[in-house]
């Protein structure tokens, strides 16, 4: 399960004499950012860091002729006392004009008469649902294989449920998680588990407020922040515009960065023990479920971030307005700062 992180990084204003402006007040532009997530185990083993190979292909037919084709590359398998439940989806891509999902509900024992598979398509053209009961599959934590499952169009006409056998989808294919070998006592860099912005510019104001603008690809987001600082550390709060009484809602609890200055250069660094942010024992369980790490073999799971900035013209952003928003797979904003605690 790959989990992707976007960074809303804002930083720093130290506590100085009220009569003297801090050298941190001004506009700072990022030069370089590095770091990521790291893992160390006490036993050599295979783990699954999110990379997959293969696909399940869904071909739609109308009157025996192929109408369209969908490729699904993401999956989740849940096995419990009620049976096995599989979800297969297309990988999120903002350029795609559709979302497609394949479901298998394979109930156990006396519940098996509720078994069915289904396929849904959501696009600008509309929402379409297909169902069937003759699925054939093999599923585990690391792979899903479907063989010639045929599902038929389900729709309502004049408040009546209709199954149209001339409109159907045939699904075939297999998806597998790709394993990586991690050696015992190795500080393993979990490549592609964290993504950084291409550009960050932040403004630090004397009153302890500020703004940040970051860009990933062609998308830019501008936001307000508040800060709490010492002579060498900073903890910032991301501000949402929909707070009570029309005021920004600045939520605290962000990680603490260390910083150092040299003239117009600023260096920020962060080390965060991911497991320290979770309840006792939960980190071991989470790493097992998410990456397949054997229970009891996790030594450490942490993040590191290093950023350098240069000071630019000392002025604030005027009347910033968000034109584009950074979105995750579910269409919601999320930040490294907040997600480091999850």
CB 256 within 8 A of CB 229: no
Number of domains in the chain: 2
Q: Does residue 230 lie in a domain region?
A: yes
Instruction: Say if residue 173 is in the same domain as residue 267.
Output: no
Q: What DSSP state is assigned to residue 317?
A: P
DSSP category for residue 283: H
Supply φ then ψ for residue 223, to 5 degrees: -145, 160
The verdict on 188 and 332 lying in the same domain is: yes
pLDDT one-digit tens code per residue, 40-49 = 999 999 999 9
Q: Rounded to whole angstroms, how far apart are CA atoms 220 and 222? A: 7
The domain boundary, picked from 125, 144, 178, lies at 178
Residues 284 and 159 in one domain: no
Please give the average per-residue pLDDT across 217-228, as a whole number: 84
Strands 199-204 vs 26-41: parallel, antiparallel or unpaired: antiparallel
Nearest CA to 47 out of 173, 144, 141, 145 is that of 141
Mean predicted confidence (pLDDT) in 295-313:
93
Highest mean pLDDT among 168-182, 267-281, 299-313: 168-182
Q: Average per-residue pLDDT in the chain?
A: 83
Return the bridge partners of 130, or none: 119, 153
Model pLDDT, residue 316: 41
Q: What is the pLDDT of residue 243?
A: 55
Q: Indicate whether 221 and 333 sit together in one domain.
A: yes
User: Do 115 and 209 have their domain in common?
Assistant: no
Question: Torsion over CA of 145, 146, 147 and 149, rounded to 10 degrees?
Answer: 180
Q: Is residue 228 included in any domain, yes or no?
A: yes
Cα(71)–Cα(228) distance, integer angstroms: 48
In a domain, 249, yes or no: yes
pLDDT digits (tens, 9 = 90+) for 223-280: 888 877 788 887 777 787 665 566 677 876 667 899 998 989 999 999 999 999 888 8
pLDDT of residue 314: 47
Q: Is the domain of 31 the same as that of 101?
A: no
CA–CA dist 76, 149 (Å, integer): 18
Q: What is the mean pLDDT of residues 114-124?
A: 95
* Mean pLDDT in residue range 140-157: 95
- Residue 155 within a domain: yes
Domain end position, chosen among 178, 197, 221:
178
Contacts (Cβ under 8 Å, ≥6 apart) of 19: none
Instruction: Give yes or no: residues 262 and 225 share one domain.
Output: yes
User: Does some domain include residue 3?
Assistant: no
Which of 178, 208, 241 delimits the end of a domain?
178
Say yes or no: 104 and 245 in one domain.
Answer: no
Do both 101 and 221 map to the same domain?
no
Q: What is the pLDDT of residue 330?
A: 36
Identify the DSSP state of 284: H
Instruction: Confirm whether 171 is domain-assigned.
Output: yes
Comparing 22 with 39, the larger pLDDT belongs to: 39
For residue 305 the two structure tokens come to 């971030």
User: What is the DSSP secondary structure assignment for residue 252, as one 8-state letter?
Assistant: -
* 91 shares a domain with 40: no
Whether 2 maps to a domain, the answer reads no
Residue with tokens 């989740």: 76
Q: Reduced to 3 states, what is the DSSP secondary structure of residue 21?
A: coil
What is the domain range of residue 65?
Answer: 51-178
Q: How many CB atoms neighbour CB 86 within 10 A?
A: 20
The residue among 237 and 167 whose pLDDT is bigger is 167
State the pairing for strand pair 26-41/143-157: unpaired
Rounded-to-integer distance, Cα 67 and Cα 85, Å: 28
* In a shared domain, residues 83 and 171: yes
For residues 138 and 240, membership in a common domain is answered with no
Distances (CA, A) of 195 to 256, 328, 336: 20, 12, 9
Q: Tell me, yes or no, whether 12 lies in a domain.
A: no
pLDDT of residue 246: 62
- Cα radius of gyration rounded to whole Å, the chain: 25
Give the span between the Cα atoms of 178 and 47, in whole angstroms: 8
Report how far residue 286's alpha carbon sits from residue 220's, in angstroms, rounded to the nearest whole number.
32
List phi, psi (to 5°) of 297. -110, 0
| Helix count and strand count (H, E) for the chain | 2, 20
């Amino acid at each position: 399960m790959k989990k992707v992180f976007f960074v809303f990084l804002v930083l720093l204003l130290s506590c100085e004499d009220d009569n003297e402006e801090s050298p941190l007040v001004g506009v700072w532009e990022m030069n370089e950012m590095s770091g990521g997530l790291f893992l160390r185990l006490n036993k050599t083993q295979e783990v699954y860091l999110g990379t997959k190979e293969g696909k399940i292909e869904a071909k739609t037919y109308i009157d025996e002729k192929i109408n369209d084709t969908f490729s699904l590359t993401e999956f989740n398998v849940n096995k419990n006392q009620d049976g096995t439940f599989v979800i297969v989806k297309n990988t999120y891509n903002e350029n795609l004009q559709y979302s497609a999902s394949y479901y298998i509900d394979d109930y156990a024992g006396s519940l098996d008469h509720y078994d069915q598979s289904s396929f849904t398509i959501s696009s600008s053209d509309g929402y379409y649902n297909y169902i069937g009961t003759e699925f054939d599959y093999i599923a585990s934590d690391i792979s899903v294989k479907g063989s010639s499952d045929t599902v038929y169009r389900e729709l309502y006409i004049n408040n009546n449920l209709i199954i149209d056998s001339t409109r159907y989808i045939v699904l075939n294919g297999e998806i597998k998680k790709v394993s990586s070998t991690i050696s015992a006592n190795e500080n393993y860099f979990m490549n592609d588990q964290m993504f950084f912005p291409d550009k960050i510019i932040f403004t630090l104001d004397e009153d302890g407020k500020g703004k940040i603008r970051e860009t990933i690809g062609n998308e830019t987001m501008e936001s307000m922040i508040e800060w709490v600082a010492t002579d060498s550390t900073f903890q910032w709060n991301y501000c949402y515009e929909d707070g009570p009484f029309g005021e920004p809602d600045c939520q605290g609890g962000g990680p603490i960065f260390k910083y150092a200055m040299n003239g117009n250069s600023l260096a920020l660094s962060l080390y965060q023990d991911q497991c320290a942010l979770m309840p006792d024992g939960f980190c071991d369980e989470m790493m097992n479920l998410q990456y397949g790490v054997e229970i009891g073999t996790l030594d450490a799971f942490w993040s590191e971030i290093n950023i350098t900035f240069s000071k630019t013209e000392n002025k604030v952003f005027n009347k910033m307005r968000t034109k584009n928003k950074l979105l995750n797979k579910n269409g919601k904003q999320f930040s490294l700062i907040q997600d480091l605690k999850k």
